[in-house]
A = this chain, B = another copy of it.
Amino acid sequence: MHCPDQPGIIAVITDFITTNRGNIIYLDQYVDRQNGIFYMRVEWELENFMIPAEKIDEYFNTLYARRYELTYRISFSTRRQRMAIFVSKMSHCLYDMLARHMAGEWDVDIPVIISNHPDLAIAGKQFGIPFEHIPVTRDNKEEMEKREFVILDRHKVDFIVLARYMQVLSEDFIRRYPNRIINIHHSFLPAFVGAKPYHQAYERGVKLIGATSHYVTADLDAGPIIEQDVARISHKDTIDELVKKGRDLEKIVLSRAVEKHIQRKILTYNNKTVVFS
């Protein structure tokens, strides 16, 4: 939740939970004093909670939403989210996520992998996940995206991860999944926006390369940043070596972002993210 900062707001909310016998197991809050906004994420057990699960939203809304100008979202950890992965030809981010999923690290379902190339069909087979080959080109994008929407709907997909997917989504596509498409860009944004960032980094002679995971918005590579990291390089590194060192960065930075999204610990506001720990 977030709302205009105001005295006593934490007490009001925590009181609501504890007097109704909810056991708070996580609470993190933060006040953006520059803009006067209060952010909070709170998690509680429903076992003895006196308000039935399906009524919480109504009660919360009636009692607090208007009074405190609260924007909030209620999620139940019992509902497992469903995530689609989009790929092109590079496998490192995809395998990293499939391995985590297989090991039970993530509380998420992966009902489908979609790709504009057939190359990674093998990964779908290995991990038992349906693989759909949708050969998007510049000319057939509208038609192909329609086919993608059908697939995403059929699989009841909640959010999408672009795991080095080399196509730009249409504005229509992005509008359907606001703050629910996570991309990995292989540079330290906002440096090296657009194509071939490792080539750009090599040309500029930087001493660190980076990777950035962010929510996709209509502006290319300009959406809210979720996570970033860098690795040291030197004059000895060729572009091929930047690409290689970058792969490890990309997969870790993307997976950290996906994990936070699965845990519902990211709050977006003003094209920025609050990422709770």
Interface residues of A (CB under 8 A from B): 7-8, 10-11, 14-15, 18-19, 23-25, 27, 29-34, 90-92, 95-96, 98-100, 102-103, 105, 126-127, 188-192, 204-208, 210, 224-230, 232, 234-236, 238-239, 244, 247-248, 252, 255, 271-275, 277
Contact = CB atoms under 8 A, between A and B. Distances in A.
A272 B103 contact: no
Contacts of A27: 10, 29, 31
Which of A208, A229, A255, A271 gathers most chain B CB within 10 Å?
A: A208
23 contacts: A7-B23, A8-B15, A10-B24, A11-B14, A15-B15, A27-B29, A27-B31, A30-B235, A32-B235, A91-B99, A95-B102, A96-B99, A105-B247, A188-B188, A188-B208, A190-B204, A205-B225, A207-B225, A207-B228, A208-B210, A208-B228, A230-B230, A235-B273
Report how many copies the assembly holds.
4
Which of A99, A210, A273, A275 gathers most chain B CB within 10 Å?
A: A99
Question: What 9 A-B pairs have minimum CB-CB distances, sorted nearest first?
Answer: A205-B272, A95-B99, A191-B191, A8-B18, A126-B126, A11-B14, A11-B15, A207-B228, A235-B274
Which of A11, A33, A102 gathers most chain B CB within 10 Å?
A: A11
Contacts of A32: 235
B236 A208 contact: no
Contact of A7 (B24, B210, B236): B24
